[in-house]
Amino acid sequence: MTAPALPPLISSDGHLEVRPERWSPRMPAKYRDRAPRTIKLPDGGDALLVEGQPPYPAPFLDLRAGRTNETWEPFGVTVDDTAGVGPPEQRLREQDQDALHAEVLFPNMQVGPRLWRAIPDDDVYRATVRAYNDWLGEEYCAVSRDRLIGLGVIPWTNVSDAVAELEHCVKLGLKGVNLGVFPSGKGYPTPEDDRFWAAAIDMNMPLTVHVGFDRLGPRASQPTFEYPGVDAAILAKLGPRKLVEWVALPFLGTAPSMSFAQLILSGVFDRLPDLRIFFAETRLGWVPFWMEEADYWYERHRHWAARLLNFKPLKQRPSDYVRQHICFSVQHVERVAIELRHHMGVERIMFATDFPHIECDWPNTRPFAERLFADVPADEAFKIAAHNMLAYFRLEGTPMGRKVMAQESAASR
C-alpha cells in the first residue's frame, strides 16, 4: 500500500502513565495521606509507593516512548521525561505527531489498578479508584472527549462495587471501562458476574480487558473455574487439568487464552448474547491456532465434563463465540496477524500502537502501518485502522468520528 492510500489511524491501545499526584487530590481528605504517591529512589529513578507495599520502581517497559534503543535503560527511570505522561493538551500534540486521530487510553498497567488492589483497606482502595475515574472523566478526557478515550477503572472487590462504579463512569461521560478481574473480584467467572455484564449491556458501556483477567497475587491460588455440586474427591482425582485447562491450552502460557476459555465455558455468551468484550494487547497471530485447538479439545472433553463436572454444554463451538463476542487489538508490527485476519473476522480487529510502552514506535508509526496494511483491500484496512474502534466505542457521531468516516466515504468513491 502506498503512503497516500494509508487509512486514517486510531489506536485502540494507548496508556496513561501519569503520576498519582495528578489525581490523588480528588480523594477524600481523610484518605489523602494514604493515597499512592511517587518517591525518589537512590539511583535517581521514580517509584510508586502504595500503602502496605515496598516501593515499585517506575517500570522501564512502560516508559519507552521518546527514547531510542541506544539510550533506553532499565534503571533510574523517571516519569516526567517520557512522552505520553503530560497533560491532555500534550497528548493531543503527540497524537498529531504520530498521525493518530484518537487513542483508547488504558490506565497504568504495572503501577495502576493491579498495584492499587494491594491497598489493605477497601475503603481507601475504592476511594483511589473513584479519584482516578473522576480525574479522568472530569479533567483529562474533558479536553477532547472524542480523541482522548479514557477507560474508567472497575474496582476489583465485588459485583455491587463494580456495578456502582460502572454507573458512575457512565455519568462521567467515559466511553468505556476496563476490568482487571472478573466483576466479582475473583480470578474466575461466577454466576453473580451476570449482574454486571447485564448492566453494561443495558447502559451501552463498552467493556475492555487488557491482555487477560489477572491471576497473580492472591488470585494465583484461586480455581480457574467453578464446578458446583461436584464431589471434591473427583476434582482432586482429575488433578490440575479439568475442562477449562484443556480448552485454554495452558502450554501456550498466555493469560488471554485462559480468560477466553473461562468466559466461553461459563456460558455467559449463551445467556447474554449481546455481550461483547474487547481484549487489548493479547498479540493476535496465535489466536487462529488457539481457536482451532479449542474446538478440538472442547469436543473431545465436553462429554465426560458434562457427566462428572456438571458442565452445561455450549450451544456453539468455542471459536464461534470468539468470532461473535470478542474483539482484539492488533499491534502496528503484527503483519502475520493481519495475514490471518479472516480467521477472527476483520470486524473484530482494531489497530493499536501501545504508546508510550515498549512496543510503540512513536512518532514513527506510519511506516510500520504501511507495512502492516500492504496489499490489504482498502475497505478491510479502513475497518481495522479506524472503523471498528469507532463502532465498538460508539464514536461514529463525534466530530472526530464523522471526520474519519467522511474519509472512508471519499476513499470508497
Q: What is the DSSP string of 83-121?
A: TT-S-HHHHHHHHHHTTEEEEEEEEPSSSSHHHHTT-S-
Q: What is the end-to-end Cα distance of the chain in Å, rounded?
A: 18
Q: What's the pLDDT at 73?
A: 81
Stretch 275-299: mean pLDDT, rounded? 97
Average pLDDT, the chain: 94
Mean pLDDT of 179-183: 98
Instruction: Let me know: does 8 contact 386? Beta carbons within 8 Å.
Output: yes
Residue 137 clears pLDDT 90, i.e. is over it: yes
Domain 3-412, CATH = 3.20.20.140
In sequence order, the 6+-apart residues with CB closer than 8 A to the CB of 90 are none
pLDDT of residue 218: 87
pLDDT at 335: 98
- How far is residue 337 CA from its own chain's centroid? 18
Task: Say how far apart CA 76 and CA 178 lie, in whole Å.
Answer: 30
Look at residue 243 and tell me whether its pLDDT is greater than 80. Answer: yes
Grid coordinates of 101: 486521530
Cα 6 to chain centroid, rounded? 26
- One-letter amino acid at 246 equals W
pLDDT-based confidence at 251, cuts 50/70/90? low
Q: Which of 37-51, 71-85, 132-146 has the highest mean pLDDT?
A: 132-146
Q: Where are the domains of the chain?
A: 3-412
At 9-67, the pLDDT tens digits run 999 999 999 999 999 999 999 999 999 999 999 999 999 999 989 999 988 778 889 88
Neighbouring-strand partners of residue 367: none
Contacts of 96 (CB under 8 A, 6+ apart): none
Nearest of 195, 184, 350 to residue 262 by alpha carbon: 184
- At 369, the pLDDT band (50, 70, 90 cuts) reads very high
Of 295 and 254, the structure prediction assigns the larger pLDDT to 295
